Structure 1
């Protein structure tokens, strides 16, 4: 593992996506440049990073892979792992194993591979759309309910206002506010 930095100990207070993207763009332009496992239609992108359980969750697209990524955010849940170690994380959609990794520019992080290599993607837009869909799918329970649906139902069962439960942009646009009053 790399030397410990202040970001490792406290986590990233702000979105780590720019640093992650810069780190992997340098790898893509350096040691990975021109390798046959790279899809020339793709470039490095750090996609959809958001706070989750006090840590940072997003996707990393490179010309050689598409992975979910967890980066410490100071929430105390993340733990650095060696490259051969796994940690299982539970999302509404199920449990997923993430492998440990570290880069000097960003410190420790964990990855869950979705595609490697990534030749099935014809364009950057296609690959990024799959990354967004994968991130969204993590938060949909096996029964199809989103976290917002579950929070609204829990509030209703406890006799609280369902309007006080959080509403995602997606649920709002799908009419989630109108559907909450039913039940």
Structure 2
């Protein structure tokens, strides 16, 4: 196990370890598989802490996945191989459990697989960043409108003062 990873979870940002693990997978288990997009390389994008987990996107030549790894909190539990629904700020997403010896347990939500629609690394990175923005950016509350009409229920029904 990596020094940044304990049995409880990732103590530090998992991006570099994920990249190393998936580059190894690319050059071993995925070697020669025709679905690999040669314009795309392994890259972690936008990992941040969220509810005791690390959440971000992993780009590989064969998929782009939203990933959750444990940090301070365990991952949602469930039967082996079964989907787990995880509430994110902008919606509930389905995740499948996985594990690799070098990184431990994780949850993954497939965003794209395979990747023929991506011409280059920058387009994959931009897509990953936009997905994270859409899922995790909590919209700001609407600004108060200055001196507009009083639309309170009491005023509308003639129960308020003049």
Q: Closer, same or farther in 2 for the Cα pair 1:6/1:59, shift >3 Å?
A: closer
Distance 1:46 1:98 in 2: 18
| Contiguous gaps of at least 5 residues in structure 1 | 140-145, 154-178
Structure with the larger helix share: 1
Counterpart selection for 1:50 from 48, 51, 56: 48
Question: Which has the larger Rg?
Answer: 2
Q: TM-score, normalised by structure 2?
A: 0.80
Contact 2:41 2:121 in 1 (8 A): yes
Partner of 2:57: 59
| Contiguous gaps of at least 5 residues in structure 2 | 146-162
SS in 2 for 1:19: helix
Contact 1:44 1:63 in 2 (8 A): yes
Counterpart selection for 1:99 from 60, 82, 96: 96
Offset at residue 92 of structure 1 (A): 2.6
Counterpart selection for 2:23 from 22, 25, 28: 25
Q: TM-score, normalised by structure 1?
A: 0.72
Offset at residue 55 of structure 1 (A): 0.6
Aligned residues: 144
Offset at residue 80 of structure 1 (A): 5.6
Partner of 1:115: 112
Runs of 4+ in structure 1 deviating by more than 2 angstroms, as ranges, are 5-9, 79-83
Distance 1:6 1:13 in 2: 5
Distance 2:56 2:33 in 1: 25
Contact 2:4 2:10 in 1 (8 A): no
Distance 1:75 1:39 in 2: 35
Q: CA RMSD in A?
A: 2.3
Q: Closer, same or farther in 2 for the Cα pair 1:67/1:51, shift >3 Å?
A: same
Q: 1:132-147 residue pairs with structure 2 within 5 A? A: 132-139=129-136, 146-147=137-138
Q: Closer, same or farther in 2 for the Cα pair 1:105/1:116, shift >3 Å?
A: same
